[in-house]
């Protein structure tokens, strides 16, 4: 035990990101649930107070222009873009992840159909493949998107996707990191396989953006969505984002073409004409209060590189697994998270028979993770504010709880 405590001290002393923790409001609870709701960045309360009291209270309608409200979805999209490896002009913020999954998937099928029109073989692309282990909302929306577009939905394990691709594949919806096990999927390889089959790849980045490099542009991803309240710390229900690769933007045919996506929104024309660029992904009036809270929250990333975040994330999860092995009685838990770094996100999922009850006891002792039915203890590691001494303490309390 004392050996792991002193090792934690050494790791904290050598941690280049240790000081970023001061940019957050935290206490002595070990908070390992940033993959569900990121902690509050210290600059947010004052910003929100200003948005409410001055921008809304005093400037009122003028704030749409003078406070930059109208262009916030694109501006904040450009702030998120470097974190997911995208050049500017391809990410727009707004709506929930669920809504963006729907937009992206229907638009992907429409693109695939558009390709087939000029195809002499008359190829009818009529299949959507979806990760069967996905966060449920993605599966529900994929089912609806399939029904609306006349496609067949094929749920399967991500490892089985390459073998299932073919001339019928229209779109493939995948998670970069599995929300339950923390498994990191092969985004470059799977995207290339989808492209080789002539389909479109839609990635859900909810559990990877802000925790590890994504490389959307580099890997030629077509469309991507993600939420901002997990590793991006945007606050409860903060708006999600949609990435549409630049080369596809002219062909992005939104199934929710609201007036905010119009080329001339204040022209109030009866005919729809889509705006160019990422703006085309917008729908209706943006939720300014949570959007500007998110903008303030993103300032914690100033001067922070995603590569350093990834290195620390792996060191944190490695150290946690080592401490668990040391402290937790043999056979009480089993890690569902891959040991290989190339397959690991920024969380550790431990299977444990009485997980629901165990997590309640951990929370009562100041170690907050979460329980995922039926038997998973899930611990998320946010490298911006989680330290190694906290990791050691979490594993020690877990060991005592299970001992």
Ligand X SMILES: *Cc1c(COP(=O)(O)O)cnc(C)c1O
* Closer of 345 and 387 to ligand X (Cβ): 345
Q: Is 96 in the site for ligand X (CB under 6 A)?
A: yes
Window 34-53: residues binding ligand X (CB under 6 A): none
Query: What are the Cα distances from residue 12, in Å, to 312, 344, 390?
Result: 10, 22, 10
Q: Is 227 in the site for ligand X (CB under 6 A)?
A: yes
Q: Is 179 in the site for ligand X (CB under 6 A)?
A: yes
Question: What does the angle CA 139 – CA 144 – CA 149 come to, to the nearest 5 degrees?
Answer: 125
Least Å from the CB of residue 254 to ligand X: 17
x/- track of binding to ligand X for residues 232-251 (CB under 6 A): --------x-----------
Least Å from the CB of residue 135 to ligand X: 3
Cα separation of the two ends of the chain: 15
Least Å from the CB of residue 157 to ligand X: 15
Whether the bond between 287 and the residue before it is cis, its omega within 30 degrees of 0, is no
Question: What does the angle CA 212 – CA 32 – CA 349 come to, to the nearest 5 degrees?
Answer: 75
Q: Which of 378, 385, 388, 396 is catalytic?
A: 378
- Rounded Cα–Cα distance for residues 191 and 251 (Å): 19
Least Å from the CB of residue 96 to ligand X: 3
Is residue 140 annotated as a catalytic residue, yes or no? no
Strands 91-93 and 370-372: what pairing? unpaired
- Rounded Cα–Cα distance for residues 256 and 280 (Å): 10
**Cα 125 to the center of its chain, rounded Å:** 28
* Closer of 41 and 226 to ligand X (Cβ): 226
Specify the DSSP class assigned to residue 248: G
* Closer of 138 and 390 to ligand X (Cβ): 138
Least Å from the CB of residue 43 to ligand X: 23
Q: Is 97 in the site for ligand X (CB under 6 A)?
A: yes
x/- track of binding to ligand X for residues 106-145 (CB under 6 A): -----------------------------x-xx-------
Quick one: which of 55, 149, 175, 317 contacts ligand X (CB under 6 A)? Answer: 175
- Rounded Cα–Cα distance for residues 387 and 146 (Å): 44
Task: Kindly indicate which of the ranges 54-62, 92-100, 163-171, 189-197 contains the residues binding ligand X, using the contact rule CB under 6 A.
Answer: 92-100
Q: Is 98 in the site for ligand X (CB under 6 A)?
A: yes
Task: Kindly indicate which of the ranges 94-102, 144-152, 313-321, 363-371 contains the residues binding ligand X, using the contact rule CB under 6 A.
Answer: 94-102
- Rounded Cα–Cα distance for residues 203 and 200 (Å): 10
Nearest C-alpha neighbor of 258 from the set 66, 95, 22:
95
Is residue 204 annotated as a catalytic residue, yes or no? yes
Using a 10 angstrom Cβ sphere, with 0-12 exposed, 13-18 middle and 19 or more buried, the burial of residue 259 is middle
Tell me how crowded residue 76 is: count the other CB atoms within 10 A of its CB.
27
Number of residues located near ligand X, criterion CB under 6 A: 13
Is residue 320 annotated as a catalytic residue, yes or no? no
x/- track of binding to ligand X for residues 200-219 (CB under 6 A): ----x-xx------------
Least Å from the CB of residue 227 to ligand X: 5
Is residue 378 annotated as a catalytic residue, yes or no? yes
- Rounded Cα–Cα distance for residues 18 and 388 (Å): 10
- Rounded Cα–Cα distance for residues 260 and 362 (Å): 46
Is residue 250 annotated as a catalytic residue, yes or no? no
Interacting residue ranges for ligand X, rule: CB under 6 A = 96-98, 135, 137-138, 175, 179, 204, 206-207, 227, 240
- Catalytic residue IDs: 135, 204, 229-230, 378
């Amino acid at each position: 035990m004392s050996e792991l405590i002193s090792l934690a001290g050494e790791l904290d002393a050598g941690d280049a990101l240790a000081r970023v923790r001061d940019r957050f409001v935290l206490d002595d609870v070990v908070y390992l649930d940033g993959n569900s709701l990121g902690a509050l960045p210290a600059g947010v309360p004052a910003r929100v107070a200003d948005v409410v009291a001055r921008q809304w209270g005093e400037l009122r309608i003028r704030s749409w222009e003078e406070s930059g409200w109208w262009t916030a979805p694109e501006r904040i999209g450009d702030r998120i873009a470097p974190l997911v490896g995208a050049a500017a002009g391809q990410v727009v913020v707004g709506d929930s992840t669920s809504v963006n999954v729907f937009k992206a998937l229907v638009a992907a099928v429409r693109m695939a159909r558009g390709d087939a029109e000029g195809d002499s073989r008359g190829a009818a692309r009529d299949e959507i493949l979806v990760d069967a282990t996905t966060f449920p909302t993605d599966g529900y929306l994929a089912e609806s998107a399939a029904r609306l577009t006349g496609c067949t939905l094929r749920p399967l394990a991500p490892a089985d996707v390459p073998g299932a691709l073919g001339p019928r594949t229209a779109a493939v919806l995948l998670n970069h990191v599995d929300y339950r096990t923390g498994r990191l999927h092969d985004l470059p390889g799977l995207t290339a396989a989808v492209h080789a089959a002539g389909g479109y790849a839609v990635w859900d980045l909810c559990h990877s953006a802000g925790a590890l490099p994504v490389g959307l542009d580099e890997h030629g991803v077509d469309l991507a969505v993600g939420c901002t309240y997990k590793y991006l710390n945007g606050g409860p229900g903060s708006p999600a984002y949609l990435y549409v690769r630049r080369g596809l933007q002219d062909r992005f045919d939104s199934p929710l073409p609201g007036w905010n996506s119009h080329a001339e929104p204040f022209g109030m024309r009866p005919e729809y004409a889509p705006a160019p660029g990422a703006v085309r992904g917008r729908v209706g009036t943006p939720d300014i209060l949570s959007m500007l809270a998110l903008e303030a929250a993103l300032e914690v990333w100033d001067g922070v590189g995603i590569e350093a975040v990834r290195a620390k994330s792996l060191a944190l999860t490695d150290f946690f697994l080592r401490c668990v092995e040391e402290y937790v009685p043999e056979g009480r838990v089993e890690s569902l998270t891959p040991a290989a770094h190339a397959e690991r996100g920024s969380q550790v999922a431990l299977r444990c028979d009485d997980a629901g009850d165990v997590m309640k006891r951990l929370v009562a002792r100041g170690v907050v993770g979460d329980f995922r039915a039926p038997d998973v203890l899930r611990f998320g590691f946010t490298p911006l504010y989680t330290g190694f001494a906290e990791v050691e303490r979490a594993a020690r309390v877990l060991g005592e709880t299970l001992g």
